[in-house]
A and B are shown apart, each in its own frame.
Chain A
Amino acid sequence: MEEYRALFLAEARDYLQGMTDHLLHMEKDPGDAAHLTEVFRSAHSLKGMAGTMGYNLISGLTHKMETLLDSLRGGHTKVETEMVSLLFEAVDLVQLMVNNLDRQADYTETVLELEHKLLAWLDREPGLEPVPVKQNINQLAVKDPDKGTSGGGSQTFNKDVQNFNEYEKEMLKDAMLKGKSILHIHVRLLEGSLLKAVRAYMIYKAVEDQGDIIKTEPCMPELEEGQFERDFSLFVVGLPDHDELRRSIEGISEVEKVHVVPLVPDWEPEMEIAATAAVFVSPEGDTPAISTADLPLEQEHQPPSTSDMANRLAIPRDNKEKAPTLARAAEKTVRVETAKLDILVNLVGELVINRTRVLELGKGADKELLEGSLEQLKRITNDLQSAVMTLRMFPIKQVFHRFPRMVRDLAIGQNKEVELVITGEDTELDRTIVNQVGDPLVHLLRNAVDHGIETPEERKAKGKNPAGRIVLEAHHEGSHVVVSVSDDGKGIDPEAIKKKVLEKGIVSSQELEIMNGSELVNLIFRSGFSTSETVTDISGRGVGMDVVKTSVEAINGTVELKSEIDKGSHFVLRLPLTLAIIHALMVKAGNEIYAIPIEAILENIFVEPDEIRTVNRDRVITLREEVLPLSSLSESLGMGTFKQRKMYPVVVVRAGNKKAGLIVDDLLGQQEIVIKSLSKFVDGIRGIAGATVLGDGRVALILDVATLLEDGRVIIGKESSHH
């Protein structure tokens, strides 16, 4: 039964997505019978499958959909927006039931109601026999597919410390010595509880507020994954009040019962225990002194190519067995808890760091054998790293696929005609980024429909096609993914923006004067530019655009806007492929090593003192007929002063359309680094994006070139006391 169910699930989801797509097309182009046929076929197939599986509610509902679709095919009924909406509602409900196969009974009322609406639609049309609703109720003998065998109810509460490991036993002993009580709290959840992991978390928190939890059964990772039937246990030390504890757990819903039993271990605690020594752990070897000047330089820079990695990951084909298409489709995906993936990614990160270290240690020894093995180690870790990173890659389709419906519903709500064109939906990027790019895109699309696209009348008056067009596009560009949202609506008026920013005091009129059109338009991303109360002032745009910017920047991306009055607006999001590991150029400035992300670097040059000129107290050079301001990295970070030298290594960096030359003390070479976030405590330092751990155990800071340039700290001559 189980394998049928997996097949059913996979196939049903395909059909539902297919129905959504074709319904959208059908609405757009009612004349094209092909889409209607496809929707009909999907509904029909789904009905058959669900019937076979005994999911009578699904088969009943899809049957009603089929009836309605059939009347469309026969020309008895016409495609109308309201009816398509009704069909969408049915698709949603089927989707919900497919997602919750075990809880079919809960939907009975909803399904009946919707069936009634579907049939009522038919009823309005002459020449069709309405099907009495009553008849269907009889079909609804809903079976509960698996009545979940609940976990065994009887547990022995006492003397079960044999499951405790040595460490846990030590904790117990310690507690007993201190005269604290030890409790075994056994909790049983109600049958059929969902999100058991979260329920366990709530209970855990409630208990943790009152005592120290030293052990759980099942173990924490399993609790966190919800891997238990209905029962789990917490062992807690030092609770003053049993009753209060019980009450606080019983106050949580879906708790069937709680047992709180004092635990009496069947061994005697040893009385002599070292009182204090245990707290002192001094890992001295943590930071060996390795000269930082000769860090290993990794010359080859291979951005992970997706297809390449996919090949490495491919499972060898078994030719003997030709499974049906669907079975293969189901096999292709394995669900992995994201937490497990993250552990893997972290481990690989550590491995990469250590590899660098080992390679360095191996440098001194000139044994061929060692070199060979090291080379191999390097290759294997590279491959492993790429493979692990692909595990986190998802097609952006996962975000895109809900947009056609959303745009349709928004447009209908405002009596606008909007066509959404999507391309590049197979573009892959990191799961975290896929998850986080959804909200900004919703915002941009919503804005495009609400404020970009004009009403059909306005459009006609402007000589445009009455139907507006929004293009959502994604593609790879180096180690970035570019996602853009363009509309052919009314665009943004720079003059209106000028008025508004002056009004709000966001920039001064002097600043405004030197801004070009593009800089002006991009002011809408400034915080404080707009609030929800002031939506319609300037072409209505700018509703919380700073929020879009912030959330895109949170994933190391950038967003830019191009707009032309009455031609439309074009938003471009540049997102990194992945967040965890980046390529960076390591540089030395003062006593410190900094990592500069490769994406921000244009080139490295060496500059001689006589090439440097001083303009308005700023140091500049002329690089290929362009004036490039130079500034000392140490100085701009406030970490040191500019020192005279015979030759200056300069890293030319870029962010947006700003360029600058950073004078450093030494270029140490390119390296892959694992990004570690800075603690919340010191978060948000302008110019610093995070930190990384070097091969020798030291911490190096990662520069955030965008904010560094934005703050103007990197234009030299700010307070040049040296020239």
Chain B
Amino acid sequence: MSMTENSGTTEVQMVAFKLENEEFAVDIHQVREVLKMTQVTPLPQSAHYIEGVINLRGEVIPVVDLRKRFELSEEKCNDQTRIIIVEIMDNDVGLIVDSVTEVLRFPSSAIQPPPTRIAGTRTDLIRGVGKLENRLLIVLDIEKILSTEEIIALDEITLGDKVEQ
């Protein structure tokens, strides 16, 4: 029932998380809840980045390993590993991330559309860039990232040193 916040509001809330050394964010309205890592039942014959399914209060929910999605080296999960349950196209999907840092409130003006032309960057997968003090958060378009079969390398969705911070 919740909907994404649009214009007209002064503040947006984002759930920030880490992958490798990059910081990302998703709109809090897309986030159902955040879980500690739990036992995942692997699914045969599915995309390599689909880690499997988990039981969330009796519902069976698929879980995507974002590290694998972005072709990163596998890392043993640790205490910090989290599953962010997001709602995408009316379905709950879990995202395994290195860690969830915090929930951030941004003035909506602090979120800017992705820079349009940067070599090697898939700006179509980025909803915007949030600048907060000296941090740079990339707001991912989770829906697009999960609905395409293409291989996406992490550096395609990070800005790295391509823009001035």
Which A residues lie at the B interface, using CB under 8 A?
178-180, 208-209, 211-213, 238, 240, 275-276, 279-284, 286-287, 346, 350, 353, 592, 637-639, 676-682, 685-688, 691, 693, 697-701
A544 to B15, CA, bound (A): 49
A663 to B91, CA, bound (A): 35
A21 to B11, CA, bound (A): 68
Q: A279-B28, A678-B60 are in contact. Are A701 and B41 (CB under 8 A)?
A: yes
A238 to B43, CA, bound (A): 41
Which B residues lie at the A interface, using CB under 8 A?
1-3, 5, 7-11, 13, 15, 28, 31, 33-36, 38-39, 41-46, 50, 52-62, 88-93, 102-103, 105, 146
A637 touches which of B11, B38, B45 (Cβ 8 Å): B45
A-B contact pairs, 27 of them (CB 8 A): A178-B9, A178-B11, A208-B1, A208-B3, A212-B1, A238-B9, A240-B7, A240-B8, A275-B105, A279-B33, A281-B34, A282-B35, A282-B36, A283-B57, A350-B58, A677-B60, A681-B88, A682-B46, A682-B53, A685-B43, A685-B44, A688-B43, A691-B60, A699-B55, A699-B60, A700-B41, A701-B43
- Asked if B15 contacts A679 (CB within 8 A), the reply is no
- Asked if A698 contacts B41 (CB within 8 A), the reply is yes
- For A278, give the chain B residue with the smallest CB separation: B103
Taking CB atoms, residues of chain B closer than 8 Å to A353 are 58
Taking CB atoms, residues of chain B closer than 8 Å to A275 are 103, 105
- For A238, give the chain B residue with the smallest CB separation: B9
Taking CB atoms, residues of chain B closer than 8 Å to A209 are 3
Q: A275-B105, A283-B35 are in contact. Are A212 and B2 (CB under 8 A)?
A: yes
- Asked if A685 contacts B41 (CB within 8 A), the reply is no
- Asked if A180 contacts B9 (CB within 8 A), the reply is yes
A688 to B60, CA, bound (A): 14
Q: A209-B3, A279-B31, A698-B39 are in contact. List 11 more A-B contacts (CB 8 A).
A: A178-B10, A180-B9, A212-B3, A281-B33, A282-B36, A287-B38, A346-B58, A350-B58, A681-B62, A687-B44, A693-B58
A592 to B44, CA, bound (A): 11
Q: A275-B105, A639-B44, A699-B53 are in contact. Are A280 and B1 (CB under 8 A)?
A: no
How far does the Cβ of A708 sit from chain B's closest Cβ, in whole Å?
10
- For A682, give the chain B residue with the smallest CB separation: B62
- Asked if B103 contacts A279 (CB within 8 A), the reply is yes
A691 to B55, CA, bound (A): 10
Taking CB atoms, residues of chain A closer than 8 Å to B35 are 281-283, 286
Of A275, A286, A682, the most chain B CB neighbours within 10 A belong to A682
A178 to B58, CA, bound (A): 34
- Asked if B45 contacts A685 (CB within 8 A), the reply is yes
Interface of chain A, helix or strand or loop or mixed? loop
- Asked if A681 contacts B28 (CB within 8 A), the reply is no
A682 touches which of B9, B11, B43, B105 (Cβ 8 Å): B43
Interface of chain B, helix or strand or loop or mixed? strand
How far does the Cβ of B32 sit from chain A's closest Cβ, in whole Å?
9
How far does the Cβ of B52 sit from chain A's closest Cβ, in whole Å?
8
Taking CB atoms, residues of chain A closer than 8 Å to B33 are 279-281
Taking CB atoms, residues of chain A closer than 8 Å to B8 are 238, 240
A685 to B46, CA, bound (A): 7
B50 touches which of A180, A208, A682, A697 (Cβ 8 Å): A682
Taking CB atoms, residues of chain B closer than 8 Å to A682 are 43, 46, 50, 53, 62
Taking CB atoms, residues of chain A closer than 8 Å to B9 are 178, 180, 238
A213 to B3, CA, bound (A): 9
Taking CB atoms, residues of chain A closer than 8 Å to B11 are 178
A213 to B1, CA, bound (A): 7
How far does the Cβ of A631 sit from chain B's closest Cβ, in whole Å?
14
- For A703, give the chain B residue with the smallest CB separation: B44
- Asked if A678 contacts B62 (CB within 8 A), the reply is yes
Of B34, B42, B103, the most chain A CB neighbours within 10 A belong to B42
Of B53, B91, B93, the most chain A CB neighbours within 10 A belong to B53
Of B3, B5, B7, B10, the most chain A CB neighbours within 10 A belong to B3
Of A212, A346, A687, the most chain B CB neighbours within 10 A belong to A212
A639 to B41, CA, bound (A): 11
A698 to B15, CA, bound (A): 27
A701 to B31, CA, bound (A): 26
Taking CB atoms, residues of chain A closer than 8 Å to B28 are 279
How far does the Cβ of A308 sit from chain B's closest Cβ, in whole Å?
28
How far does the Cβ of B11 sit from chain A's closest Cβ, in whole Å?
6
A688 to B52, CA, bound (A): 13
Q: A279-B15, A682-B50, A698-B41 are in contact. Are A676 and B60 (CB under 8 A)?
A: yes
A681 touches which of B3, B56, B146 (Cβ 8 Å): B146
Taking CB atoms, residues of chain A closer than 8 Å to B88 are 681
- Asked if A697 contacts B42 (CB within 8 A), the reply is no
Taking CB atoms, residues of chain A closer than 8 Å to B42 are 592, 639
- Asked if B93 contacts A286 (CB within 8 A), the reply is no
Taking CB atoms, residues of chain A closer than 8 Å to B10 are 178-179
A679 touches which of B7, B91, B102 (Cβ 8 Å): B91
- Asked if A679 contacts B3 (CB within 8 A), the reply is no
- For B47, give the chain A residue with the smallest CB separation: A682
A50 to B41, CA, bound (A): 62
Taking CB atoms, residues of chain A closer than 8 Å to B56 are 286
A308 to B110, CA, bound (A): 67
Q: A275-B105, A281-B34, A287-B39 are in contact. Are A679 and B62 (CB under 8 A)?
A: yes
A240 to B91, CA, bound (A): 28
Q: A682-B62, A698-B55 are in contact. Are A276 and B45 (CB under 8 A)?
A: no
A652 to B157, CA, bound (A): 49
A276 to B105, CA, bound (A): 9
A209 to B6, CA, bound (A): 11
A505 to B131, CA, bound (A): 57
How far does the Cβ of A200 sit from chain B's closest Cβ, in whole Å?
14
A678 to B15, CA, bound (A): 26
- For A213, give the chain B residue with the smallest CB separation: B1
How far does the Cβ of A262 sit from chain B's closest Cβ, in whole Å?
15
How far does the Cβ of A315 sit from chain B's closest Cβ, in whole Å?
32
